[in-house]
């Protein structure tokens, strides 16, 4: 018998077990922001961000399929990925919630590319949506990075065991 075919006969992984295991996987805490066609700012905290390609410079961002931020995105439109810095935990928690009030108590401005830019991030990647791909209950946004602002004096935060913590110093 083929061992790989045995995998297909296993029962579906319990979502609670999956969530608990993924909470133990450290991930950068990022906030994705974009502006809808009507000018409304949108944003969401995400832990699924990854580099994809150097030539051309591409990144992957995974957003819940029901996300209002995702709803404001389309191929060819811009968005920003903010790698949060230690001290921005409250901002990250605010953007993890649903609803329009996310920008009310946050220091932000429109970037040169017209996207909502949050103050104080360790890095900001200015991107253009190249593609939107299905990924289970999420959508994978492929973004072409057109500019990066990186402040290496700031310490990024990571999500680990359901806490947002300063990343370990080198």
**pLDDT higher than threshold 70 for residue 158:** yes
41 confidence band (pLDDT: 50, 70, 90)? very high
Could you tell me if 128 and 113 are in contact, meaning their C-beta atoms sit under 8 angstroms apart? no
Q: Which residue has the higher pLDDT, 11 or 58?
A: 58
Which pLDDT score is estimated for 111?
A: 95
**pLDDT higher than threshold 90 for residue 8:** no
**How far, in Å, CA of 111 to CA of 108, rounded?**
9
Q: What is the pTM of this model?
A: 0.88
Which pLDDT score is estimated for 135?
A: 94
Which pLDDT score is estimated for 3?
A: 55
Please state the rounded mean pLDDT for residues 54-74: 96
pLDDT more than 90, % of the chain: 71
Please state the rounded mean pLDDT for residues 25-40: 90
Could you tell me if 154 and 86 are in contact, meaning their C-beta atoms sit under 8 angstroms apart? yes
User: Per DSSP, what are the bridge partners of residue 145?
Assistant: 127
Please state the rounded mean pLDDT for residues 136-142: 95
Instruction: Name the nearest CA neighbour of 76 among 40, 34, 112.
Output: 34
**Cα–Cα separations (whole angstroms), residue 40 to 68, 69, 116, 160:** 11, 10, 9, 32
């Amino acid at each position: 018998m083929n061992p790989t075919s045995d995998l297909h006969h296993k029962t579906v992984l319990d979502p609670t077990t999956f969530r608990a295991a993924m909470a133990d996987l450290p991930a950068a805490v990022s906030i994705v922001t974009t502006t809808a066609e009507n000018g409304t700012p949108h944003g969401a905290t995400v832990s699924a961000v990854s580099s994809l390609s150097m030539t051309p410079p591409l990144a992957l961002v995974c957003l819940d399929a029901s996300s209002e931020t995702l709803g404001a995105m389309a191929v060819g439109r811009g968005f920003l990925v903010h790698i949060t810095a230690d001290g921005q935990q409250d901002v990250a928690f605010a953007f993890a919630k649903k609803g329009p009030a996310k920008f009310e108590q946050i220091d932000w401005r429109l970037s040169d590319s017209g996207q909502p830019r949050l103050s104080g991030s360790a890095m900001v990647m200015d991107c253009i949506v190249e593609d939107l791909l299905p990924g289970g209950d999420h959508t994978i946004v492929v973004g072409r990075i057109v500019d990066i602002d990186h402040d290496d004096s700031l310490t990024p935060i990571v999500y680990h065991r359901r806490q947002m913590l300063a990343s370990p110093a080198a």
